[in-house]
Amino acid sequence: MNVGALPPARMRRLTDMTTFYAILMDGMIYASWLFLVAAGLTVIYGVMRILNMAHGSFYAIGAYSAASLVGWYFSSNGEANPYWSYAILVGCALLAGLVVGFVIEQGLLRFMYKRNELLMVIVTYALLLILEDATKLVFGVDPYFTYQPYSLLGRSMIGELAFANYDLALVGASVVVGGLCWFVLNRTHTGKVLRAVIHDREIAVAMGVNVRLMFAGTFIVGTTLGALAGALTAPSISVSPGIGVEVIVLAFAVVVVGGLGSIEGAVVGALLVGLTRSMAVHLAPEIELFVIYGVMSLVLAVRPQGLFGRTVARKI
């Protein structure tokens, strides 16, 4: 590892235009993926105060169901219009998220809302363990390699570098998801009620808000967002056991940096982590491993509640 003055090659890279926009583009693409992964986590935490360790499993379930169904679509009708596979991706995610979210909320979580926050972390940890093996039982351990939707869109040259159009579309998808979340929270009646629940659960109950319904809805939306992230990622990776566990810590980092429970925070957190990481990869690959935890520790050291987190009034 080099300490001290940067070697000439790296100096040159710093001033190189190609590297500069590569950092920007890669950072944006990675950030949008991070946001997709983290959005569901922050929504659930914001409303329900549950730090959902099983979020990664929802991601995995989304990825697996999308990969297997799209794979089946291509292998069973070779002549079919390949563009339908995108509808299958999204449809799969919605269906998987709805079903899994509903079953878990109604079957388990709703009996536990009175327990404290930390115990809920452990409940979701148990869920993570169970879902990890359940996914394995349903889908097997063979990796699913469903590349068609990824390679179908081709690539575009931006300057000297080629980018996969699917990755660029992912940026669009995350803007849509973020926009929708923002719109629902800020511009609809449901959103207003939700914000009331976020602000003070007890008062909201006293005002006649059906908090149980809100919780059920939020959990299902959060699960679906997790599954959607998985489904949209599935075509660009090889879906194999353990992918869920890998994204949990990432999603946590993004959400903690941005401030737990804040959509704006998740956006900023994702951009911060995404761009820093991309900078590290291009300029100092040896520190890449520490980037995420470094950013998280630094932000927490300066702003313990995260960038957009609310400081909670201390109650006596």
Partner 1 sequence: MTYIDRTGLWLIATAAILVAGAFVLPHWLTFILTLALAKALVVQGVVVQMRAGLVSFGQGLFFCVGGYAIGLGGNLLGIHDAFALLALGLVASVGLAAVIGLLMTRYRDIFFAMLSLALSMILFGVLVKSQTLGSTDGFNVHGVSYLGVTFDGANQKIAVYILTVVVSCACALFLYRSQHAGIGRVCEAIRENEIRVEYLGLSPRWILYAQYLVAAAVSALGGGLTALATGHIDPEMAFWTTSGEFVFIALLGGTMHVAAPFVAAVLFAFVRTYAIEFTPHTWQMILGLVLLGIIIFLPKGLWSLVSRNRRVKA
Partner 2 sequence: MKRLKHIVRPMAVATIAAAAITAVASPSVAAENGKFRLGVVTFLSGGAAGPFGVPSINGAKLLINALNEGKVPGPYGQKGINGLEIETVVIDENGGATKQVEEFRNLAERHKVDAVVGYISSGDCLAISPVAEELKVPTVMFDCGTSRLFEENKTPRYVFRTGLDAAIDNIGAARYVVDTNRKTSAVASIQQNYAWGQDSWADFRAALTQLKPETKIATEQFPKLFQGQYGAEISAIAVSKPDVIHTSFWGGDMEAFVLQGAARGLFDKSAAILTCGESALDRLKGQAPNGLILGARGPFGAFAPKNELSEWFHKSYVAQVEMAPSYPAYKMAQAILGLKAAAEKAAAGKTGIVPEKEKVLDAFTNLTFESVSGTVAMSRANGHQALQGISYGEYRYDAKTKQASLANVKSYAGDCVTPPDGTTAAEWIKAGFPGAKCGN
Q: Which residues bind partner 2 (CB under 8 A)?
A: 13, 16, 18-19, 22-23, 25-27, 29-30, 33, 132-133, 136, 141-143, 145, 147, 150-151, 155, 160-164, 166-167, 233, 236-243, 246, 277-278, 281-282, 285-286, 288-289
CA atoms in the 13 A half-sphere facing the CB of 256 = 20
How many residues are given for the chain? 316
Work out what residue 305 binds among partner 2, partner 1, none; the CB cut-off runs from 5 to 8 Å by kind.
Answer: partner 1
For partner 1, the closer of residues 52 and 218 by Cβ is 52
Nearest Cα neighbor of 183 from 80, 94, 97, 263 is 263
For partner 1, the closer of residues 65 and 135 by Cβ is 135
| Residues near 152 by beta carbon (within 8 Å), at least 6 away in sequence | 82, 83, 85, 166
Q: Does the footprint of partner 1 cover residue 138 (CB under 8 A)?
A: no
Lay out the site mask for partner 1 across 224-253 (x = CB under 8 A, - = otherwise).
Answer: ---------------------x---x--xx
Please check whether residue 273 is in contact with residue 253, taking contact to mean a CB–CB distance below 8 angstroms: yes
| Residues near 93 by beta carbon (within 8 Å), at least 6 away in sequence | 62, 65, 66, 224, 227, 228, 230, 231, 232
Q: Does the footprint of partner 1 cover residue 66 (CB under 8 A)?
A: no
Our measurement of the distance from residue 114's CA atom to the centroid of its chain's CA atoms, rounded to an integer in Å, reads 27
Select from 18-26, 58-66, 110-118, 144-152 the region that touches partner 1 (CB under 8 A).
Answer: 110-118
C-alpha to C-alpha distance for 284 and 302, rounded to whole angstroms: 24
Widest CA span in the chain:
68
Q: Does the footprint of partner 1 cover residue 296 (CB under 8 A)?
A: yes
Work out what residue 239 binds among partner 1, partner 2, none; the CB cut-off runs from 5 to 8 Å by kind.
Answer: partner 2
3-state secondary structure of 82: coil
Q: Which residues bind partner 1 (CB under 8 A)?
A: 51, 108, 111-112, 115, 117-119, 121-123, 125-130, 132-134, 136-137, 245, 249, 252-253, 256, 260, 286, 289-290, 293-294, 296-297, 300-301, 304-305, 314-316
